[in-house]
């Protein structure tokens, strides 16, 4: 058996990789997301105040998702599955990793193209690009909402992600500043022997630079080269 196939590559991806495809990202510096204060459209309180505004916001994000394509960074990670075991843990709510061909993707912050019941979070409904409207309900009659983890909500997949990072032979962090928790804390779960790479045009704090092999380039250009090296 080819020994490289036994290596487990765990990828922690963030907004930067999707931004290269044209996906709008939230930037904490101005507290706005597509000209909306984050409190209005990405918190349980915002949903309670104005569910119609929140639904419209995510409907627009979903429509935009289907106007863009995965980039070379997404494609390189999908191609890596030919020689390695690969698990992508993403902070992104888009489906660009899947559309590029990645088969094992964990969405820490939910998925834009899925709706869920407000009464029972286990009831999930693929949207396939469709809007969610006020009055759209689950079988139990409860309003549907975006299957997205809002600020102030728990991250249900975080423990599963921690367990996966603990099994990594290689950890690749791409397109994230490692400043948003709890996702940023996942790197601490990697084994001591794990090779660590960080791909982002903006280099992190010096302490992280000592911990990672840093590649200060966009994912679209850096990832194909890194995958060739692996």
Q: Look up the CATH superfamily of 24-67+113-148.
A: SIR2/SIRT2 'Small Domain' (3.30.1600.10)
Query: What are the boundaries of each domain within the chain?
Result: 1-23+70-109+155-230, 24-67+113-148
Q: pLDDT-based confidence at 3, cuts 50/70/90?
A: very low
User: Does residue 170 contact residue 7 with C-beta atoms inside 8 Å?
Assistant: yes
* Strands 124-126 vs 213-215: parallel, antiparallel or unpaired: unpaired
State residue 4's pLDDT score.
43
Closest CA to 17 of 73, 58, 68: 73
pLDDT tens per residue across span 36-68: 888 899 999 999 999 999 999 999 999 999 999
Q: Look up the CATH superfamily of 1-23+70-109+155-230.
A: TPP-binding domain (3.40.50.1220)
Q: Rounded to whole angstroms, how far apart are CA atoms 167 and 145?
A: 34
Q: Rounded to whole angstroms, how far apart are CA atoms 230 and 223?
A: 10
Neighbour count for residue 155 (Cβ, 10 Å): 15
**Is the pTM for the entire model greater than 0.75?**
yes
Q: Which residues are catalytic?
A: 109
């Amino acid at each position: 058996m080819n020994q490289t196939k036994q290596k487990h590559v765990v990828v922690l991806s963030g907004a930067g990789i999707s931004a290269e495809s044209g996906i709008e990202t939230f930037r904490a510096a101005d507290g706005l997301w597509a000209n909306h204060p984050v409190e209005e459209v990405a918190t349980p309180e915002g949903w309670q105040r104005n569910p119609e505004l929140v639904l419209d916001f995510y409907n627009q994000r979903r429509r935009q998702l289907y106007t863009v394509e995965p980039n070379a960074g997404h494609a390189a990670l999908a191609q890596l599955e030919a020689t390695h075991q690969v698990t992508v843990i993403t902070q992104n709510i888009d489906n660009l990793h899947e559309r590029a061909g990645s088969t094992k993707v964990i969405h820490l912050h939910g998925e834009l193209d899925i709706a869920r019941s407000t009464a029972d979070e286990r009831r999930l409904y693929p949207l396939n690009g469709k809007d969610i409207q006020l009055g759209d309900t689950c079988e139990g009659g409860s309003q549907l909402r975006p299957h997205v983890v809002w600020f102030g909500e728990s991250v249900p997949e975080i423990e599963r992600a921690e367990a996966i990072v603990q099994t990594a032979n290689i950890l690749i962090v791409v397109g994230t500043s490692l400043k948003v928790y709890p996702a940023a804390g996942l790197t601490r779960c990697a084994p001591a022997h794990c090779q660590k790479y960080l791909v982002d045009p903006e280099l992190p704090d010096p302490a992280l630079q000592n911990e990672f092999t840093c590649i200060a380039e966009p994912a679209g250009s850096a990832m194909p080269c890194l995958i060739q090296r692996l």
